[in-house]
Structure 1
Amino acid sequence: MNNPYFQFSGGVIGALLFLAGLFFILVFLPVSIVAEAFSRLGLTTFQGVLMFMAIVVGRTVNIPVHTSQRLVMVRRPISVRCVMDTRGQGACVEDEPANELKKQVFAVNLGGCVLPLLLSLTFLLGMADAVGAVGFGWIGFALVAVAAGCYAVSRPDVLTGMRVPLFMPALMTFVSVYFFVPEPIRPLAAYVAGTMGTILGGNVALLLTPRLRNRIATPLVSIGGAGTFGGVLVAGVLAVLLA
């Protein structure tokens, strides 16, 4: 007679394989791709992984730089409270949220703006002698092209303030770099144009356009933050690998 408590169905092995697959797809593969991209720009594998972790963690940090006099509506969530009625029975009542007005705050995101900017400057200064004046001209051309494209496709967003389509910056960076920039400086041009072009065109230029800026109604407007961070990261990494 078989004891049902000792029958093996393979469920534990399957669960472990599933978790291992998730770890590979969500952790190991992205880290490996980013490390490979940064290695083409002169960083070691350890430095690349460390910088990737700093960027991912830094996406949660917004540094305020300006508080506007413009007031925006902040919606509070609906609260539910449970009370006892006259018969001693419990009942749940929804309280209507009391919306409030707050001054709009502008900030820069640590992982989506500050660190990519510092990396771009570091790479440019470190490779200045090899790039030369002509190379800087091509990098500037690619940056302007990506910025113009991101400005064309970026939109004010109700939840995030500003939104840039995830893969559009990477696609525009690849086209502008692969077909126009000389091969020796393509990785550098791809990173600088992909990150800074996305930020300048998708966020900064949008904020400098009154018609679009006035359509942003979120209390916190973060340059390189939610809605743009993914585009900056994908453009900076994929464009370098494809260049």
Structure 2
Amino acid sequence: MSRRFLFPALRWPFFLLVALFFVLVFVLFSGAVMLAFHRLGIPPQVAVTLFTFALVGSFINIPIAEEVTYEPVIRVHSAGLFGLLYSVPYFDWEERKTVIAINVGGALVPVSVVIYEFIRMIEYSQYGLLVNTLLAVAVASLFSNAVARPVRGLGIAMPSLFPPLMAVLLGWAFGDGNPTVVAYVSGTLGVLIGADLMNWGKMKKLGAPMVSIGGAGTFDGIFLAGVIAVLLV
């Protein structure tokens, strides 16, 4: 006997409200990202292209390395004695392979924005801002590495609000007249370098078949850290 938890008359209005909610969330999120790109001086057409690549690229992981580890495991084999079978446990080594990949939307797109900002600084001879930005990236990387923790079977985790708040403070401290750029670059590269690259050696011990840098796409810490920091500065 089947049970129905929703009255037929309420089913379509309910799903319609859910659909409208997700549309509203997407519109607000995309508007926030576009506003952040605008504050970074990115032309609207380029910003739309980057956001599109970020969304589509969220589903694309590019393998860049493969790490192999050997872990002790307990196996059982059967042994016979006087016609009786016994289960005998023994230690063995099992090979585990971990593929390390980089996500297009969650890592490559924000890094491309960082490269664009570096090129602009050099083009406009803003060498003081460039040096300050690199110092902010170094500080952000050290702090990100200090709070990041490997989570077995998942990846490298860190408090979600820490990177953008740290980037905002660094933007104010090292801004040199342009705290927005410093906040974005330090927030993005701070997470990428401090949380991911500086923990490269620990990734192979996470027990996951694949670890993706920026693997949550547009909702990953690398992407969101810079965007949120720009909006808060």
SS at match of 2:26: helix
Q: Deviations over 1:182-210 (max 9, x none)?
A: 23x222212211111110001001114xx
Q: Give 1:179's aligned residue.
A: 173
Deviations 1:163-222 (A, max 9, x none): 232221101101111233223x222212211111110001001114xxx44642212122
5+ residue gaps, structure 1, are: 1-8, 74-99
Matched residue of 1:197: which SS?
A: helix
Tell me, which stretches of 5 or more residues in structure 2 are unaligned?
1-8, 73-93
Q: 1:2-50 deviations in whole A, cap 9, x for unaligned? A: xxxxxxx9997787566434422x2110111100110112223343233
Structure-1 residue corresponding to 2:212: 222
* TM-align CA RMSD: 2.8
Letter in 1 for 2:208: T
Q: 1:72 to 1:104 in 2, by over 3 A?
A: farther
Could you tell me the TM-score, scaled by structure 2's length?
A: 0.75
Identity of matched residues, %: 30
Tell which deviates more after alignment, 165-174 or 37-46.
37-46
Q: What TM-score, normalized by structure 1, do the two folds share?
A: 0.73
Q: Which residue of 1 aligns with 2:108?
A: 114
Between stretches 168-177 and 42-51, larger displacement belongs to: 42-51
Q: Pick the aligned partner of 1:188 from 161, 175, 181.
A: 181
Count of residue pairs the alignment pairs up: 204
Alpha-carbon shift at residue 123 of structure 1 (Å): 1.9
Equivalence for 2:232: 242
By how many angstroms is 1:143 displaced? 0.7
Instruction: For 2:20, give the aligned amino acid.
Output: A
The match for 2:88 is none
Match status 1:199 vs 2:199: no
Distance in 2, Cα, partners of 1:181 & 1:36: 19
Instruction: Please identify, of 29-38 and 41-50, the stretch whose mean Cα deviation from structure 2 is larger.
Output: 41-50
* Rounded Cα–Cα distance in structure 2 between residues aligned with 1:157 and 1:227: 19
Maintained 8 Å contact 2:58/2:217: no
CA contact (8 A) 1:112 1:232 kept: yes
